[in-house]
Amino acid sequence: MNRRRGIELLILTSVLWSFSGVCIKLMSWNGYAVAGIRSLIAAGVLLIWLRRPQLPKNRWQIAAILSYTGLVVLMVVSTKLTTAANAILLQYTAPIYSAALGYLLLREPVRGRDLVSIALLLAGLAVFLFDSLAGGRMLGNLLALLSGVCYGAMNVFMRMGGGSAPGENVFWGNLLAFLCMLPFFGRLELTAQNVSMILFLGIFQLGLAYVLYAIAIPHVPALTATILTVLEPLLNPVWVMLFYGEKPSLLAVVGGAIVLFAIVYRGAGQAKQQE
């Protein structure tokens, strides 16, 4: 596969990821049911791709699986409790926790550009939390923030668990998410809209998107990958505004802009280090 094809697949991946917010908002199921059944369907897609996933071989793979489970569950539940813009953009504060864990566990150096990007992320976070106090969405925002912690931890544990393990970690993480959420499903309304949304979320938005990402990412430069994956938090609130009518507040837009700038700024630094 050439670089151009990899970029095309990564763009498609980011667009698929970006539909999570609007699909979750349009469903009448509670967040636990959406998270659990979405993950079960995605696990089926991943099983077709992996064929024979192996059990985790070390504690870091187990940690990666647990982190991934927390990420996919908390992302859905927080989207139900706060705006889609807040949920996805707070998740993208993950580089703060990746940098901290990477330093503690992998002895990865924290450079000046990392410190600047972390300061920017914290500034964006402060804007979000101020907005949540005014809008009464504190619980949803805190859960979204915790999903960012899980995301950052997962990135580190995936690297520590071995190069061939990430796909298997995601598969087991999805199965675990389903099992953990199963007792909390409640009554499921099997309407055409609910069924179509959950099938899209499981098959395309989570399952197929991860497969495409795994295929594309080895062929795309680091900075390009960083910029393209930022399409997800950019497009996510747009789809929600167009098809659900939920508009992010001015403070959320400002905080989100700071977070996205910090991500691209840090990604540019990482790309230079790899040259």
Instruction: Name every residue whose Cβ is closer than 8 Å to that of residue 213 and which is 6 or more positions away in sequence.
Output: 9, 10, 13
Residue 100 or 268, more confident:
100
Sign of CA dihedral 28, 29, 32, 37: negative
Angle between helices 94-106 and 112-135 (to 10 degrees): 140
Buried b (16+ CB within 10 A) or exposed e, 86-125: bbbbbbbbbbbbbbbbbeeeeeeeeeebbeebbebbeebb
Q: What is the predicted pLDDT for the residue at 164?
A: 59
C-beta separation of 243 from 197 below 8 A: no
* CA angle, 64 then 69 then 223, to 5°: 60
Reported confidence tier of residue 175, pLDDT bands at 50, 70, 90: very high
- Which residue would you say has higher pLDDT here, 163 or 213? 213
Percent of the chain past pLDDT 90, that is, above it, reads 53
**Ranked by mean pLDDT, which of 85-89, 200-204, 226-230, 264-268 comes out on top?**
200-204
Structure confidence by residue, pLDDT tens digits, 210-219: 999 989 988 8
> Can you tell me the mean pLDDT for 79-97?
89
Using CB atoms within 10 A of its CB, is residue 275 exposed (0-12), middle (13-18) or buried (19+)? exposed
Chain-centre distance for alpha carbon 243: 21
Looking at 22-31, 134-143, 262-271, which range is the least confident one?
262-271
Evaluate if pTM is beyond 0.85.
yes
pLDDT band at 17 (very low <50, low <70, confident <90, very high): very high
Euclidean distance between CA atoms 154 and 63, whole angstroms: 8
Alpha helix stretches (DSSP H) within 217-249: 222-229, 231-243
Residue 93 contacts residue 145 (beta carbons within 8 Å): yes
- The backbone torsions φ and ψ at residue 187, rounded to the nearest 5 degrees and listed phi first, read -85, 125
Question: Residues 209-235: what's their mean pLDDT?
Answer: 84
Residue 148, pLDDT score: 93
**For 47-62, what is the mean pLDDT?**
92
- If DSSP codes are grouped into helix, strand and coil, which group holds residue 57? coil
CA atoms within 13 A on the CB side of 98: 23
Residue 101, token pair as written in the block: 């864990």
Q: What is the mean pLDDT of residues 37-58?
A: 94
Looking at per-residue pLDDT, the higher value among 23 and 129 belongs to 23
DSSP 97: H
Select the more confidently predicted residue: 15 or 57.
Answer: 15
Give the chain's mean pLDDT.
89
pLDDT at res. 31: 97
Confidence of residue 174 (pLDDT cuts 50, 70, 90): very high
pLDDT band at 101 (very low <50, low <70, confident <90, very high): confident
